Amino acid sequence: MNSSADDDIRAVVDALKRRTAARGERVRALDSVLHLVANDEAEIAIDHLVHTANAFRLPLRQDEHDRLMAAAARLDHADGVTDIDPYLLRPDSEDI
C-alpha cells in the first residue's frame, strides 16, 4: 500500500466527481476507482480511472494529471497514465 499514491488518486477522483455532479451527471465508474484504491489495487485503479476519463470524456486539469502521474510513478505504473486522451487535458486556469 502506498497511502500517498492512494491519496492522490482519491483527490483526482473527488475532483472529477464534483465536476460531474455540478453538471447533474453521475459517473458510477468513478466509485469503482475508489473501491479499487480501498482494496489496495491502486495500479488497477489508475488504469480504470484513465479508461473512465477517456470513455466518459472527463477533462482533467493539468494539476490533476500531474498528481495522477506522480501517484503512478510512485507505484512504478506511469505508463498507464500516458493513455489519457491528450484532448482531455486542460490548463489549470480553464474552467471545466
For the segment 58-78, the average pLDDT, to the nearest whole number, is 95
| Contacts of 15 by beta carbon, 8 Å cutoff, 6+ apart | 61, 64
| Contacts of 93 by beta carbon, 8 Å cutoff, 6+ apart | none
pLDDT of amino acid 92: 83
pLDDT of amino acid 39: 97
pLDDT of amino acid 22: 94
CB 93 within 8 Å of CB 63: no
- Residue 41 is classified by DSSP as -
* Per-residue pLDDT band at 43 (split at 50, 70, 90): very high
For the segment 47-71, the average pLDDT, to the nearest whole number, is 96
